[in-house]
């Protein structure tokens, strides 16, 4: 589920997102230092990709394992960017 589609009341100004060690969003804003090429390299080279979403609501942590790399999934998602 997308962060914006959840029924949890989220203050976007407190949202932080990282891809491994790469900071993408801080306090709800895309960081000027974020380079998509760095994220691309990270995702291509790492066997395990960490996506850290911190909504700064409570101190909770969980791990989810997922994979959806079917040919159809890639075809659908390669045709657009969000």
Q: Which domains does the chain have, with CATH numbers?
A: 3-78 (3.10.20.340)
Q: Count the Cβ atoms, other than its own, within 10 Å of residue 38.
A: 15
Which of 21, 82, 16 has its CA nearest to residue 50?
Answer: 21
pLDDT of residue 35: 95
Both tokens of residue 47? 């066997």
Residue 68: what pLDDT? 66
Spans in the chain with pLDDT lower than 70: 1, 68, 80-82
β strands within the chain, DSSP E: 16-19, 22-26, 29-30, 51-54
Q: Comparing C-alpha atoms, which of 37, 4, 10, 1 is closest to residue 22? A: 37
């Amino acid at each position: 589920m997308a962060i914006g589609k959840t029924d949890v009341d989220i203050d976007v100004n407190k949202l932080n997102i990282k891809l491994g060690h790469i900071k993408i969003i801080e306090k709800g804003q895309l960081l000027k230092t974020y380079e998509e090429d760095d994220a691309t390299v990270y995702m291509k080279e790492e066997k395990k990709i960490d996506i850290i979403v911190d909504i700064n609501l409570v101190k909770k942590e969980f791990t989810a394992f997922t994979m959806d790399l079917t040919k159809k999934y890639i075809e659908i998602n390669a045709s657009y960017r969000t």
